[in-house]
């Protein structure tokens, strides 16, 4: 199974801003020269060295889910996906219950993971995690009762039977037998007229349908932008700004000089941060960075002598945004 770090080298970091309270890796030291003003410490090393400030510890449900998901994607990627999916349901890693996690697995998380893995692989991984949650927390019913691939409908007829207990059970049932008996008839008499039956619906496959949902769209091809001119910079900002949840896009030179920016508020102060971050990313051979700042996510990609940063809100699809950034190339 291909990990996200191989197919999509992403560097995730969680930052916590708390003035007046040093982090665990930055204990206060006595000043050697009281007459000199204190030197301002940059928060950037926290993101690069993965030093995180923990306000509260995740509970057992979140920890189990994170460890299971980290076998398919990187641990930082799994943490970002889980946190974003929980935030979409207004839940937190500290107090999420097993029943709530089951709803997250079957809802926002399966869509987010499908942007990184194939839909079949994403559903299989989350099905295994759902079963593991069910066994570890026996009071939680699993929502994934069918672990099969998405192409199982091509292997034969099947219907779902709604029972009084409120669950869906797939497989051959009395309803299926009734339908099969009906399809064997050559005609159905209705008010004296003969209507021929059509057995074709049992043989429909995924190729017979056209999906307009963006989640089913193929990964975009590489796109080149002439970033040495305003037209190319504006085109890049316009294309990235169309994504739901994007609050701002900024294009800078390698030294941090801001070339073009369009955002809901002033973000030009990120230029110097992008310059230092781009240098560290190039030194470490990384192509992308995603920093989760709680209510906002900042994603960055170096493009030769340029860099592009995207500021997004909590409702953004981080996996899709990183995929879009990976396709960008600078041609000027």
- At 177, the pLDDT band (50, 70, 90 cuts) reads very low
User: Average pLDDT in the 75-101 region?
Assistant: 85
Kindly report the backbone phi and psi dihedral angles of residue 152, in degrees, each rounded to the nearest multiple of 5, phi listed first. -65, -20
Contacts of 172 (CB under 8 A, 6+ apart): 158
Tens of pLDDT, residue by residue over 93-129, are: 888 888 888 888 888 888 888 888 888 888 888 888 8
How far apart (Å, rounded) are the C-alpha atoms in residues 87 and 271?
A: 28
pLDDT for the residue numbered 193: 44
Of 170 and 305, more confident = 305
Would you say residue 216 has pLDDT above 80? no
- 294, two tokens: 């709680």
pLDDT for the residue numbered 320: 86
Tens of pLDDT, residue by residue over 20-72, are: 444 444 444 555 555 555 444 444 443 443 334 333 467 788 888 888 888 88
Of 217 and 101, more confident = 101
Q: How many residues does the chain have?
A: 332
DSSP-assigned letters across all residues of 274-295: HHHHHHHHHHTT--EEEEE-SS
Is 3.40.50.720 the CATH classification of the domain at 223-330?
no
H/E stretch holding 100: helix 98-104
Instruction: Give 117's DSSP letter.
Output: S
Q: Which of 216-225, 234-243, 274-283 has the lowest mean pLDDT?
A: 216-225
Which of helix, strand or coil describes residue 240? helix
How far apart (Å, rounded) are the C-alpha atoms in residues 137 and 131?
A: 10
How far apart (Å, rounded) are the C-alpha atoms in residues 324 and 221?
A: 9
Q: Which residue has the tokens 């030194």?
A: 283
- At 332, the pLDDT band (50, 70, 90 cuts) reads low
pLDDT for the residue numbered 200: 46
- Nearest of 257, 285, 289 to residue 272 by alpha carbon: 257
Would you say residue 150 has pLDDT above 70? no
Would you say residue 140 has pLDDT above 50? no
Would you say residue 197 has pLDDT above 70? no
pTM (two decimals):
0.37
How far apart (Å, rounded) are the C-alpha atoms in residues 93 and 14?
A: 14
- At 185, the pLDDT band (50, 70, 90 cuts) reads very low
């Amino acid at each position: 199974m291909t990990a996200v770090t191989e197919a999509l080298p992403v560097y995730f970091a969680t930052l916590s801003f708390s003035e007046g309270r040093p982090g665990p890796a930055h204990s206060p030291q006595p000043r050697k020269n009281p007459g000199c003003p204190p030197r301002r410490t940059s928060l950037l090393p926290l993101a690069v060295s993965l030093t995180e400030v923990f306000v509260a510890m995740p509970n057992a449900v979140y920890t189990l889910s994170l460890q299971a998901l980290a076998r398919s994607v990187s641990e930082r990627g799994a943490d970002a996906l889980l946190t974003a999916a929980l935030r979409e349901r207004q839940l937190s890693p500290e107090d999420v219950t097993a029943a709530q996690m089951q709803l997250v697995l079957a809802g926002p998380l399966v869509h987010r993971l499908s942007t990184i893995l194939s839909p079949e692989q994403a559903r299989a991984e989350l099905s295994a995690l759902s079963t593991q949650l069910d066994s570890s927390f026996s009071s939680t019913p699993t929502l994934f009762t069918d672990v099969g691939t998405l192409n199982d409908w091509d292997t034969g007829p099947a219907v779902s039977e709604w029972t009084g207990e409120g669950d869906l059970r797939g497989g051959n049932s009395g309803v299926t037998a009734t339908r099969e008996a009906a399809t064997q008839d050559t005609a159905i008499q209705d008010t004296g007229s003969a209507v021929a039956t059509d057995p074709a619906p049992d043989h429909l496959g995924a190729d017979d349908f056209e999906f307009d949902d963006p989640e089913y769209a193929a990964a975009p091809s590489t796109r080149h932008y002439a970033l040495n001119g305003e037209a190319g910079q504006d085109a890049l900002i316009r294309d990235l700004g169309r994504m739901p949840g994007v609050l701002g896009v900024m294009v800078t030179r390698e030294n941090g000089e801001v070339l073009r920016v369009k955002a809901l508020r002033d973000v030009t102060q990120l230029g110097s941060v992008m310059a230092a971050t781009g240098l560290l990313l190039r030194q470490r051979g990384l192509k992308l960075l995603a920093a989760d700042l709680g209510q906002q996510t900042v994603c960055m990609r170096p493009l030769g002598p340029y860099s592009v940063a995207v500021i997004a809100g909590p409702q953004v699809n981080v996996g899709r945004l990183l995929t879009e950034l990976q396709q960008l190339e600078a041609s000027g």
